[in-house]
Structure 1
């Protein structure tokens, strides 16, 4: 790993020093997600431009260094989509985008990512606004609303991804509050599946859940856990394994594909989920340092945005679904199983979910009623899109057997993501 401070181009260090001025300008100007009317310089390309068209325009651009961050080691599930995205940026720019990946959160941990993006230590990274709902209330509204929709691992995941991307990118309050912090929002919602309870022993009924210590990721999850009689515990994800091993927590609210690489599945192999009455998902955003973004030529911005399709597709096909299959095998090896919640869990969870949605309606960060209407309309739209493509509603318990061939045809889905979401918000 090279010394970041020693190799950051001069223009980036100057931009970082000027950040307070940039943030004040952003706060007053409320820049739109599309960058319409921005000061981006140089020639751009049209939506759907080919690789040779991109490379032609990059021919007149000086080399640009970018640093992306991955939470995982090289070549493993949590890095493969980031590596594929970095390769696409290098290739489509004709090598003019010199992309380095900082593995295993080497520059900044998840809690420090907003600051690291704003001060230029890293250019692109995951963001978890739900960790700080008071700092990012509009993003917090998206996190609470994410309990809506179907919760299956394939059709439900794609429905939610399309709907929350479309709604989140069309809701300026969500991107604005990140801009005020010196962060350009690339995606408001990354690919993720629905959450389940992963426990050391079966816990399906209210009686079994009563008093259980459960690790949660956000305020919405804490509210849901308390409604079911559990005691929520806030821990960094890096500490979940040790907490389960020591018995200081009984469960973790999560999913197999993200918890598997942490070694959690053998310790908590009992997986309980309800496809109809779900927990809020664990949405994350993809951010880019605003000061660095403002310094890039237009064609670089456009490529960074347009090739997010690679990031999205490869995260689903090369990370999430293969890791789910592997986690199912680990569960079986360690005596675990998939379960539905008992009938007595449904009523308190539904009531709590209604209260969370009322919180969104009453939000002061955005027009909550309109936002929820937009979310519901988008969910209905993307449910229809997924059904048109004959993508099945496979339940979690049947996924591993159904997925044996290891591939889901995403070509049609990704074309709709490009044409109906990404193209509408590309820099110009």
Structure 2
């Protein structure tokens, strides 16, 4: 820190415009807040962030435009909201169901392997560049997606005919395979839609459920470690125009402190929200269950079909090689995180486990491993 602060002695003060997706201090916004605080401290106060909260500057689907028109300098963007503009990104995102869906190891691996693939895929990097962005963390998620419903729905018979909020082509195809009717609803509108019965269920992460406050209306959660839904993750990106105008020492510091964001996204956000989900489900007299075998088999069958279709994608030069790269990276990171020795805790028990173990969770080794991916692209 002292070396960085000394290096900033002759640097003029830099103010960066940004926003977080949640109210100030909310666990969902903490990864960004803690990252900003670390950068400010390590720069000796020379880099400051003008932070707007709860997506006050731009709605999630418009954040990429805000980065290019000057309203924001650094922000979370959602390429999955516009797959025609980001087809290679969308292909990577839609394969997220291949990840282990478990509450600890699955969370860790699923926030690592997609970044490895993203940085190695020229088409993905080019899409960011074409849209005037520098990807800092090309892809990060808020945990595995689950089916949140107003009543227990774990079998094909339970789900048949239900209206289900979904995001992205993969999720919609999965909902249809289970017999539901997909409906595209921004996550900011899910609470009202569930409360008013516009939809019976929604596919979302525990983080979105807690942030949106809709567990009271949909306290019955179906989440299956063996059969996952497609994700709708974001990317932490910088305005290329702003980035290119920064001194090298500022670029390097902004890159080096991404370890704070990576670790906090898991420990402060996903784990905390997974625990809160379990507590809220109990409070609202719901339940957390896996799919019945018929629904699990149907979802797994659809996932195999989706993966086969991704191998034919024209979004990258070689779709089959792209799919193989994803599977290899996923296998590699599953093996890596298994070595960390975390317990195999189910989602229903996660709240009690986290309350007992939260002070002893050490993600140092994991964060360092993810930073090895990011550090290869550090400005120099």
Q: TM-score range by the shorter chain?
A: over 0.9
Q: Which has the larger radius of gyration?
A: 1
Partner of 2:353: 402
Aligned: 1:393 with 2:344:
yes
| Contact kept? 1:185, 1:288, Cα under 8 Å | yes
- Any idea what SS the aligned residue of 1:105 has? coil
| Contact kept? 1:72, 1:79, Cα under 8 Å | yes
Segments of 5+ residues of structure 1 without an aligned counterpart are 1-50
Cα offset for 1:245? 1.1
Partner of 1:377: 328
Segments of 5+ residues of structure 2 without an aligned counterpart are none
Select the residue among 165, 171, 174 that pairs with 2:115: 165
| Contact kept? 1:256, 1:265, Cα under 8 Å | no
Cα RMSD, aligned residues only: 1.3
**Which structure 2 residues correspond to residues 159-198 of structure 1 after superposition, within 5 A?**
159-198=109-148
Are residues 191 and 255 of structure 1, via their aligned partners in 2, closer, same or farther at CA, if it must alter by over 3 Å?
Answer: closer
Deviates more, 1:118-127 or 1:313-322: 313-322
| Contact kept? 2:141, 2:232, Cα under 8 Å | no
Select the residue among 310, 313, 336 that pairs with 2:286: 336
Select the residue among 26, 31, 46 that pairs with 1:76: 26
Partner of 2:261: 311
Cα offset for 1:293? 0.9
The whole-number CA distance in structure 1 between the counterparts of 2:25 and 2:142 is 20
- Any idea what SS the aligned residue of 1:173 has? helix
| Contact kept? 1:146, 1:283, Cα under 8 Å | no
Aligned: 1:92 with 2:30:
no
Partner of 1:16: none
The whole-number CA distance in structure 2 between the counterparts of 1:347 and 1:416 is 34
- Calculate the TM-score normalised by the size of structure 2: 0.96
Cα offset for 1:281? 2.1
Partner of 2:84: 134
Q: Deviations over 1:104-132 (max 9, x none)?
A: 11111112111101111001111111111
Cα offset for 1:392? 2.5
For these two proteins, the number of residue pairs brought into alignment is 377
**Which structure 2 residues correspond to residues 196-275 of structure 1 after superposition, within 5 A?**
196-275=146-225
- Calculate the TM-score normalised by the size of structure 1: 0.86
Cα offset for 1:149? 2.2
Write out the 4+ residue segments of structure 1 that deviate beyond 3 Å after TM superposition: none
